[in-house]
Amino acid sequence: MSSKSPHATTTLAVLAGMLIIINYVETMVVPALPKIESDFNTTATTAAWITSAYLIVGAVVSPLFGKMGDRFGKKRMYLVSVGFYILAVGLAGLSPTIYFLIGARAIQGLGYAMFPIAISIVTDVFPREEIATAQGILSGAIGIGPALGLLVGAYVVQDLGWQWAFHTAFLLSLALFLVSAKMLKESGTRTKESVDYVGASLLMASMASLLVYLSDGPSVGWAVPSQLALLTLSLVTFGIFLPYEKRAKEPLMRLDLLKVRNVMVANVAGLISGVSMFLMFLGLTYYEQLPPPYGLGLDIVSSGLLMAPVSLTMIVMGPLVGRMVSNVGPKPVLTAGTLFGMLGFFLFIVNRATSLDIVLDSIMSALGLIFVIVPLVNMVATSLPPDVMTTGLGMNTLIRTLGSSAGPVVATVLMDSYQDPYVLMLGGKVVGVSFFPSPTAFNYIFVVGLVSMFMVLIVNIWTKNYTFSSRASKEIKETERAVIAH
């Protein structure tokens, strides 16, 4: 299909629009948490489940929906995923209790599975030499959502209430759902394999237990009996899952796909870069809002404004990085991304005294992120045959989500471990003492980010480079045959 095809362009626009809406809601939830906590008179630990529930369900269903997309059709499963999301976001805005809201957010997690399906759809409808550019546009669109969530969402929460953030997302996503149902066409080839529901149940039990353990660790404790029970359940079910998948005739997780070098590199690098990405986001959110001299002392709206350059950088650079992947291949682009990322984290360590410093450092870090995200997704999509592509992308999404889940945990542990006292004086007398994360805590956070980007640079050594202008079709077919043979 030509890159100028109206269908391809429309498909890309619809998918990008839905990604914007979903990421808008997810970022909007962050500044709304204190207000939600207050409205429902609940604890910070319970309120944290508003984000954890979405993340946990989204992570574990991505491989399952990817497999079902290959089996039942990508458009169909995309609409199912978005349909659950619309239902849940509508219910979330009407939540009478905190537990109802957490349940609605868990159902929203089913919408998280649309990302690997969307990537697979654009891979089907665009010619091979245009795939990376289209994927870059989708990755750039992901940057618009957080900008809206932090900027528009902050004003909506402040002036109208957090419920209206969900209400607006419900209306917009419903409109895009109707457009998607009319404009998208079924793409790719369908497999005749059955869905491995036993494997899916084992994987969900293992990953959900692990993610709950990671999410609750900083607040509940790592070694309390309930936490150790979760960790044990995760290890046991995963220990059962691995041999089961090796024996299964039609497994959920095609572990043999990891034998393809670029798929293995993309998953390992995705795990590591996921840690650094969300490590940075959480660290900056706290640093910007802590009172001086511990942070910049900004309010929610001002803090959101500082993140706007990050989103703008990703929006502008996404398509350009996609073209670079097509022209020079993923390996040099990944190399540049890790170097940008390392420089960005280094600047956060030595140059963060003012808002302008944070903006400049964030732009450099955003360059690193987009230069890493686009080639990793492209490596998975172009290294696999069409009938297992969505499955491979779903597996990659799960692995990257595990890294993303670990990032906030690392940041929280460091901020809890390194704190300095803040003495409140009134009339020359001490009226209170609080403890805030010290400069050492943030230095260590950014050092971990720098080291993780260096690790991605090392992993990138094993990337097998390719360009769409010179890569022989014979080599592509040989790779696909090797995967199918397994």
User: Closest Cα to residue 51, out of 31, 65, 78, 66?
Assistant: 31
Comparing 398 with 228, which gets the higher pLDDT? Answer: 228
User: Closest Cα to residue 210, out of 241, 244, 251, 245?
Assistant: 241
Give the integer Cα–Cα distance in Å for 429 and 425. Answer: 5
User: Closest Cα to residue 318, out of 263, 362, 276, 378?
Assistant: 378
Give the integer Cα–Cα distance in Å for 423 and 429. Answer: 10
| Domain boundaries along the sequence of the chain | 1-186, 196-251, 254-486
Residue 1 has a pLDDT of: 40
Residue 472 has a pLDDT of: 43
- Mean of the pLDDT values across residues 110-123? 83
Mean pLDDT for the chain overall: 82
Q: 205-217: per-residue pLDDT in tens?
A: 887 788 778 767 7
Question: Per CATH, which fold does 1-186 belong to?
Answer: Growth Hormone; Chain: A; (1.20.1250)
CATH number of 254-486: 1.20.1250.20
Q: 310-343: per-residue pLDDT in tens?
A: 777 877 888 888 889 888 999 999 999 999 999 9
Residue 290 has a pLDDT of: 84
Greatest C-alpha distance within the chain: 80
CB 109 within 8 A of CB 49: no
Residue 178 has a pLDDT of: 93
Q: Percentage of the chain with pLDDT > 90?
A: 25
Q: 360-385: per-residue pLDDT in tens?
A: 998 998 899 889 988 988 888 888 87
Residue with tokens 């089907």: 124
Residue 147 has a pLDDT of: 63
pLDDT at 308 over 80: no
Q: 148-176: per-residue pLDDT in tens?
A: 666 676 677 777 888 888 898 899 889 98
Comparing 415 with 158, which gets the higher pLDDT? Answer: 415
Give the integer Cα–Cα distance in Å for 287 and 289. Answer: 6
CB 79 within 8 A of CB 269: no
Intra-chain end-to-end CA distance of the chain, in Å: 30
Among 21-35, 51-65, 66-80, the range with the most confident prediction by mean pLDDT is 66-80
- Mean of the pLDDT values across residues 232-250? 88
Residue 37 CA, distance from chain mean position: 24
Among 105-114, 121-130, 360-369, 447-456, the range with the most confident prediction by mean pLDDT is 447-456
CATH topology agreement for domains 1-186 and 254-486: yes
Residue 473 has a pLDDT of: 41
- Residues sharing a CB contact under 8 Å with residue 212, sequence separation 6 or more, in sequence order: 52, 56, 230
